[in-house]
Amino acid sequence: MLINGDSGTTISAFDRGLQYGDGLFETIAVADAHPCLWQRHYQRLQAGGKRLGISIPTAATMIKEIQQEIGFNDRGVIKVIVTRGKASRGYQPDPEIPVTRAVHFSPWPSFPASTNSDGVSVRLCNTRLGSNRALAGIKHLNRLEQVLARSEWDDPGISEGLMLDANNRVIEGTMSNIFMFKDGNMHTPDLTECGVEGVMRNLVLEVAAELGRPVNIGQIELPELLAADTVFLTNSLIGIWPVRDIDGKPFNLDHIDRDLMLEVNDRAYV
């Protein structure tokens, strides 16, 4: 791991990332020894920085450290963390304190090859996402909702948990965004109140529009999702995962848009 450009794994216990979750992160796929969709990840980092008032290091600094961490590894995962730096006491940020940055390479997780053809099993989580426009969309370090939701199951046969907001609206998975295909149209939840605006979600939105299948962004209630023809999940590492079933309710994988999947995969890992 690189901490502020130096090799090591130690960050001050006073760091606001630890004290308050006061920071941002990105999880980036590595292919052919370079960070995939880097521009999009950096843009989201910057958007989060703007929202929280955290100065994001330059793209040149970040990319230099990312390449240093990747080294000769061809495939893997890069995690970038930027926090507001060391705290004194209390919540009030001190704009004079430099941010902390951490860059870490880890090996590519081995997803079963069958996920693309057979789809994945998903469960409905009891943990709800809180609504907060100030934090919605960005990838901030406060992930307790996802931690609680992911603690709800340990069955390795279930790949993801679906999360609703307090008004029973479908928002996303614990680590992914969700799309559904219903009555000839694609839909994905609106993320104005909560949820992470995924880099892969945005790529899917773009590719779908180019293929002439624009996606409706709006409110999705659980019964609507369960009545969909197909459902799929997205994130930077998994790309697109078709959903086989949600709490035992099966979906027909024959209806999945394979053209869209291929096109997204072609662009996501180059």
Ligand X SMILES: Cc1ncc(COP(=O)(O)O)c(C=O)c1O
Which residues are known catalytic residues? Answer: 27, 139, 172
Question: In this structure, are residues 101 and 4 in contact, taking their beta carbons and an 8 Å threshold?
Answer: yes
Which ranges of the chain does DSSP label H, i.e. alpha helix?
A: 16-20, 38-52, 59-70, 115-118, 144-150, 199-210, 222-226, 258-268
Residue span binding ligand X (CB under 6 A) among the ranges 1-9, 11-19, 84-92, 172-180: 172-180
Residue 57 or 161 with smaller CB distance to ligand X: 161
Report the Cα 37 to chain-centroid distance in Å. 13
Rounded to the nearest whole angstrom, what is the least distance from the CB of residue 147 to ligand X in the complex?
A: 11
Which member of 177, 194, 230, 240 binds ligand X (CB under 6 A)?
177
Rounded to the nearest whole angstrom, what is the least distance from the CB of residue 36 to ligand X in the complex?
A: 10
Cα–Cα distance for residue pair 184/104, rounded to 1 Å: 42
From residue 108 to residue 147, the character string flagging contacts with ligand X as x (rule: CB under 6 A) and all else as - is --------------------------------------x-
Question: In this structure, are residues 176 and 14 in contact, taking their beta carbons and an 8 Å threshold?
Answer: no
Which member of 159, 176, 188, 230 binds ligand X (CB under 6 A)?
176
> Does 172 interact with ligand X (rule: CB under 6 A)?
yes
Rounded to the nearest whole angstrom, what is the least distance from the CB of residue 199 to ligand X in the complex?
A: 4
Burial of 65 (0-12, 13-18, 19+ CB in 10 A): buried
Question: Which stretches of the chain bind ligand X, using CB under 6 A?
Answer: 27, 146, 172, 175-177, 196, 198-201, 234-236
